[in-house]
Chain A
Amino acid sequence: GAVVSQHPSRVICKSGTSVKIECRSLDFQATTMFWYRQFPKQSLMLMATSNEGSKATYEQGVEKDKFLINHASLTLSTLTVTSAHPEDSSFYICSARARYGTGGSVQGETQYFGPGTRLLVL
């Protein structure tokens, strides 16, 4: 299946600093990537939709100035948590939208997820 990587896998930072998380689609081009956040024992909550070459679309309640998203190329999207605070500590996961199938036929479309980034703000 398609591979999506995230870097870093884990980051610890001091309150007030900014943290950048990278999401890369390794073997396919993704015009659309998504950023999610997951709190312990809860569902994945969509934060924003990242479109290559245009501004990200943020979900209701997500501060766009707090969570800066840049989709600079068809294989890279970045999420920057600005002026991080302890309440921003969470598991951040990106995904890339792609079609899938075998033998050259398209069977459907899905999102392939990265392994996630654990952010801890002290």
Chain B
Amino acid sequence: DQQVKQNSPSLSVQEGRISILNCDYTNSMFDYFLWYKKYPAEGPTFLISISSIKDKNEDGRFTVFLNKSAKHLSLHIVPSQPGDSAVYFCAASRTVGTYKYIFGTGTRLKVLA
């Protein structure tokens, strides 16, 4: 049972345009969400997080939106840069208990110069 889903395995965007990566979850108990960026043969790098008490969090070029009723979150990157090309994972967690993260399957973003 995949509790966190990223339905788009890949996405191509022109440099300078907006990249929108989507993530859906099924467990309504999740209350903390994160986005990670990963290059091949490296560990994931933390990008941005959001608590369920918010619906938006912004950090530079990265903005995460959370729609709790739809159990959906998205990551917006604007403007997109070639260096943003990587695999992006969303993760969900509960802030009680073990804080373990459940990761989505990832979306490969390619930013075209």
Task: Mark A residues whose CB is within 8 Å of B.
Answer: 1, 4, 6, 32, 34, 42-46, 49, 57, 91, 93, 95, 97, 100, 108-116, 118
Contact A116 B101 (CB under 8 A): no
Return chain A residues, CB-CB under 8 Å to B51.
Answer: 108
How close is B48's CB to chain A, nearest CB, in angstroms?
9
Task: Mark B residues whose CB is within 8 Å of A.
Answer: 34, 36, 41-46, 49, 51, 89, 98-106
- Asked whether A113 and B105 contact (CB < 8 A) given A32-B99, A57-B98, A108-B51, the answer is no
Return chain B residues, CB-CB under 8 Å to A93.
Answer: 43-44
Contact B103 A44 (CB under 8 A): yes
Return chain A residues, CB-CB under 8 Å to B89.
Answer: 43-44
Out of B41, B49, B105, name the residue touching A43 (CB < 8 Å).
B105
Bound CA span A89–B18, Å: 38
How close is A5's CB to chain B, nearest CB, in angstroms?
10
Contact B103 A43 (CB under 8 A): yes
Bound CA span A111–B100, Å: 9
Closest A-chain residue to B102, C-beta based? A46
Out of A46, A100, A115, name the residue touching B42 (CB < 8 Å).
A115
Contact A43 B42 (CB under 8 A): no
Contact B105 A91 (CB under 8 A): no
Bound CA span A16–B16, Å: 52
Residue with the highest number of chain B CB atoms closer than 10 Å, among A1, A44, A108? A44
Contact A46 B46 (CB under 8 A): no
Contact A97 B43 (CB under 8 A): no
- Asked whether A114 and B43 contact (CB < 8 A) given A32-B99, A46-B100, the answer is yes
Return chain B residues, CB-CB under 8 Å to A112.
Answer: 46
Out of A42, A49, A116, name the residue touching B41 (CB < 8 Å).
A116
Closest B-chain residue to A115, C-beta based? B43
Out of B43, B46, B103, B106, name the residue touching A110 (CB < 8 Å).
B46
Return chain B residues, CB-CB under 8 Å to A110.
Answer: 34, 46, 49
What 5 pairs across the A-B complex have the smallest Cβ distances?
A113-B43, A43-B105, A44-B103, A43-B103, A113-B44
Contact A118 B102 (CB under 8 A): no
Bound CA span A94–B98, Å: 15
